[in-house]
A and B are shown apart, each in its own frame.
Chain A
Amino acid sequence: MITEFGHLALCLALAVALIQATLPLYGAYARDGRLVALAVPSALVQATLVGISFACLTTAFVRSDFSVLAVFQNSHTLKPMIYKISGVWANHEGSLLLWVLILSLAGASVAVFSKALPADFRARALAAQAMIGVGFYVFLLFTSNPFARLLPTPAEGRGLNPILQDPGLAFHPPMLYAGYVGLSVAFSFAVAALIEGRIGPLWARWVRPWTLAAWSALTCGIALGSWWAYYELGWGGYWFWDPVENASLMPWLAATALLHSAIVLEKRDALKSWTVLLAIVAFSLSLMGTFIVRSGVLTSVHAFAVDPKRGIFILSFLVLAIGGSLTLYGWRASKLENSGAFATVSREGFLVANNLVLMALLSTVFLGTLYPLALDSFSGKQISVGAPYYMATFVPLSALLIFLAAVGPLLSWRQDEFIRTKQRLLIVAAITAGGTLMVLILRGIPSGLAALGFIMTFWLVGGVVADFAHRLRYGDGGPVATLERVARLPRSVYAMVLGHLGVAITVFGITASGAWQSEVLTVTRVGQTLRVGPYDFRLSDLQPIGIKNFTAIDATVDVSEHGMPVYTLHPQTRTYTDPPSETTEAGIHSRWNGDLYAVIGKPDGHGRWQVRFHWKPFVTMIWLGALVMALGGIVAISDRFSRTLGVRRVAIILQPAE
Chain B
Amino acid sequence: MRKFLVFMPLVVLLAMAALFFSGLKRDNPQALHSVMVGKSSPAFKLTAIGTIPLLTDQALREGHPVLVNFFASWCEPCRAEHAQLMALANQYHIKVYGIAWKDTPDAAQKFLTIYGNPYAGAGADIPGHVGIDWGVAGVPESFIVRGDGVIFHRHWGDIRAEHIEESILPKLKEAGE
Contact = CB atoms under 8 A, between A and B. Distances in A.
Indicate whether A and B are direct neighbours in the complex (CB within 8 Å): yes
B22 interface: yes
B24 A327 contact: no
B10 A334 contact: no
A308 B21 CA distance: 10
Interface stretch (A96-104, A261-269, A369-377): A369-377
A295 B20 CA distance: 10
A302 B28 CA distance: 12
B107 to A, nearest CB: 13
Contacts of B26: 376-377
Nearest to B24: A311
Classify the secondary structure of A's interface with B. helix
Contact of A273 (B3, B6, B16): B6
Given A312-B24, A323-B10, A330-B10, A296 B29 contact: yes
Given A327-B10, A329-B10, 10 more contacts: A277-B9, A284-B13, A295-B24, A297-B24, A298-B23, A323-B13, A333-B6, A373-B23, A376-B23, A377-B26
A301 B156 CA distance: 14
Contacts of A318: 17
Interface of B: 2-3, 6-7, 9-10, 13-14, 16-17, 19-24, 26, 29-30, 32-33
A537 to B, nearest CB: 29
B3 A334 contact: yes
Contacts of B3: 334
Given A373-B23, A382-B33, A319 B14 contact: yes
B142 to A, nearest CB: 19
Nearest to B8: A330
A281 B10 CA distance: 11
A300 B29 contact: yes
A380 interface: yes
A353 interface: no
A373 B19 contact: yes
Nearest to A382: B33
Contacts of A370: 16, 19
Contact of A326 (B13, B24, B32): B13
Contact of B21 (A281, A284, A315, A374): A315
Interface in A68-107: none
Given A297-B29, A323-B13, A377 B6 contact: no
Contact of A382 (B2, B22, B32): B32
Contacts of B14: 319, 323
Interface in A311-346: 311-312, 315, 318-319, 322-323, 326-327, 329-330, 333-334
Interface string A244-286: 0000000000000000000000000000010001001100100
- Determine the interface band of chain A, counting residues with CB < 8 A from chain B: 35 or more
A54 interface: no
A380 B6 contact: no
Contacts of A298: 23
B13 A297 contact: no
Contact of B19 (A273, A280, A284, A374): A374
Contacts of B2: 334
Given A330-B7, A333-B6, A334-B2, A319 B13 contact: yes
Nearest to B21: A315
A291 interface: yes
A409 to B, nearest CB: 30
Interface string A360-404: 000000000010011011001010000000000000000000000
A319 B19 CA distance: 12
A333 B26 CA distance: 37
Interface string A529-552: 000000000000000000000000
Contacts of A297: 20, 23-24, 29
Contacts of A312: 21, 24
Given A312-B24, A382-B32, A329 B6 contact: yes
A308 B24 CA distance: 7
Nearest to B33: A382
A560 B22 CA distance: 56
A288 B6 CA distance: 21
Contacts of B16: 288, 370
A562 to B, nearest CB: 41
A288 B33 CA distance: 27
A229 to B, nearest CB: 21
B135 to A, nearest CB: 12
5 contacts: A277-B9, A295-B24, A323-B17, A329-B6, A373-B20
A302 B32 CA distance: 15
Contact of B30 (A301, A329, A333): A301
Contacts of A301: 30
A330 B21 CA distance: 24
Contacts of B19: 370, 373-374, 377
A326 B23 contact: no
A296 B30 CA distance: 10
A382 B21 CA distance: 18
A281 B6 contact: no
Contacts of B7: 326, 330
B29 A326 contact: no
